[in-house]
Structure 1
């Protein structure tokens, strides 16, 4: 690096001290004169550009960075020289403007470091205006930020998934039902809901233990989810041994068919349940409700109707499907 810019203006000792400071700082510093020619290039720049000061000093911006001419960085440099404007380049828009590399291996791969660039005018008495460019390596900060974003997304996804069964949880159900309800109202299309309860599940837990009970719920969840093929269909754990299924663009007849298929699939698993009052294996009861939403319709009304149908299914002997219609379960 050379300090010809300051020779004759400071003493020899101060010049050496300043050069030591510039060589020690862990950031890139380089200066252009009023003619956009490079007059200072510190050790950090030598190290990360793989270009010694002697090979670049005196060259113009266009000679050094031909691909950057008239780009954002060049415009900011001209604004500093001509109008004394400072610029802090957006890291989002200018991730790696200068050909700088953290390691020789990165240079071989053409992988530039992530950079924060600050361009500042320099004005000293009796001298034409110069421009200082400061470059910092923010690769680690960017990587940390990316990792934090990924962790936040992972955490968010976990808050929408039931930890036991791996299907949607109650929160995801609520959000999805509101979305599909608004869509159905806009399109005047049917929206169906199935409420599901595992028959005599308390007796199952009491006699087989909670570990077997958890395994049973996970298998039921898999059986229910396996019957859904459309991307907007959703099966969720509603709470305890209750599940619910959202079926957009589905009539009551269509929902009845899906519900009956689910009932049969769970029964076909033949999960032993000696303490059931219905069958020697695990069974489920299902209540179905359907609505084409209007101005008076609510998601609460749809849930209430499906819940009433489920209650009627339990009263009717369990291991069956009941559809709610015309203000009464049918």
Structure 2
């Protein structure tokens, strides 16, 4: 007994030096050890906790996962880990006084470990780690990954899907249409006389024209699977899953009207109105004479060529 009593100050000194919340409860769930870290971050001094029920100190934990973990340790000798992802801030612990005033609890990871001391008395060790910084780093990395993925799939100038995104989408939707037996339509569209526009107004104004056209047309695809993409230069593409040819042609005509309604001046155009217009080629998976990606793209390209050959500012379908 004497050696046990004499060892208590040493044990308290050891756990006070640990930079992790550390406390021990007995078989009656009463606190028998409480370290300095817990003093700092809970606002409750160790002297006020000894021999008090853990659940008197933290009543909101009744019926929660932590109570079950303590019960498992004391009665079944089983350890538990309460991760931050499922149990973000179970205990009212705060990184600083200002955080406490704002009610901003620290993100926590809690381990509950049964203690085998070689006698009939059962105890469990509860350790609380502040994982707030790790969570912030993880969130930042996740945000950066999302941003990077967006950057690699979006066109720098117009903000719409880029060629890489288009290639992925048309490949995926072609395979899906073939597997499901559903229609798939593709539009290839071009701004009419765009080289002449650039030569007449300058490249900066040309970029502004591309942005205006892309911004206007990209809002017309309402379904999540529809994709409006910049294919290259002044050429754009629209992927329309589950869309038959006649519906795609109707949308293409509406797109031509919408660009005309922008009334962007184009004095170098050979069209009668001297405004920016577009030509669109439409092809569908049931009319492209094949079921491969390149068949559909080639068919839409041929249709676009025909639209230009017939005078531009129009839709042609194959």
Bin the TM-score by the shorter chain. 0.7 to 0.9
2:301 to 296, 300, 307: 307
How big is the shift at 1:145?
A: 1.5
Does 2:286 match 1:288?
no
How big is the shift at 1:195?
A: 0.5
Q: TM-score, normalised by structure 1?
A: 0.81
Provide Cα deviations, 1:198-257, integer angstroms capped at 9, x if missing partner: 233233334433212211111221232344444443321111111112233433232222
How big is the shift at 1:30?
A: 0.7
Provide Cα deviations, 1:92-140, integer angstroms capped at 9, x if missing partner: 2222232323344544555432111122333456784532211111122
Other-structure match for 1:9:
7
Aligned pair count reads 316
Whether contact under 8 Å (2:158, 2:214) holds in the other structure is: yes
Secondary structure in 1 matching 2:6: coil
Change (3 A) 1:33 1:249: closer
Other-structure match for 1:318:
312
Change (3 A) 1:76 1:277: same
Of residues 221-230 and 188-197 in structure 1, the stretch that sits farther from structure 2 once superposed is: 221-230
Whether contact under 8 Å (1:181, 1:293) holds in the other structure is: no
Other-structure match for 1:234:
227
Other-structure match for 1:260:
253
Other-structure match for 1:46:
39
Whether contact under 8 Å (1:5, 1:39) holds in the other structure is: no
Secondary structure in 2 matching 1:7: helix
> 1:99-110, aligned counterparts within 5 Å?
99-104=92-97, 106-107=99-100, 110=103
Provide Cα deviations, 1:169-200, integer angstroms capped at 9, x if missing partner: 22232333345445544654432211112233
Distance in 2 of aligned mates of 1:194 and 1:171: 17
Other-structure match for 1:112:
105
Alignment RMSD, CA only? 3.2
Secondary structure in 2 matching 1:9: helix
Secondary structure in 2 matching 1:144: helix
Other-structure match for 1:160:
153
Distance in 1 of aligned mates of 2:131 and 2:221: 46
Change (3 A) 1:69 1:221: closer
Provide Cα deviations, 1:271-304, integer angstroms capped at 9, x if missing partner: 343444445333322111123499x623322211
2:130 to 137, 140, 152: 137
Other-structure match for 2:215:
222
1:193 to 172, 186, 193: 186
1:91 to 84, 92, 95: 84
Q: TM-score, normalised by structure 2?
A: 0.83
- Gapped regions of structure 2 (runs ≥ 5): none
> 1:272-283, aligned counterparts within 5 Å?
272-278=265-271, 280-283=274-277
